[in-house]
Amino acid sequence: MAIPHTDVEHVMKKTISIATLKESVPFGVMGGDSSESVEVKVVFMLAMEEAILSSLY
């Protein structure tokens, strides 16, 4: 499973989408070595108008 995100300034409308892929694709691991990746077939795409989780970091 992958959860890509973007900066809020690029969001025109908040939405959540789910994609299921026929073939897995490599997805970069966040917080790890930049060369690390995992194979994913399910992608949750989040477009949020504000950074609601920023206080958790």
Domain locations in the chain as residue ranges: 8-50
32 CB-contact burial (10 Å; exposed 0-12 / middle 13-18 / buried 19+): exposed
Q: Is the pTM of this model over 0.75?
A: no
* Residue-wise pLDDT tens digits, 23-55: 999 988 777 677 788 899 998 888 777 766 555
Instruction: Give the C-alpha separation, 41 to 26, whole Å.
Output: 9
Beta strand segments in the chain, E: 15-28, 37-47
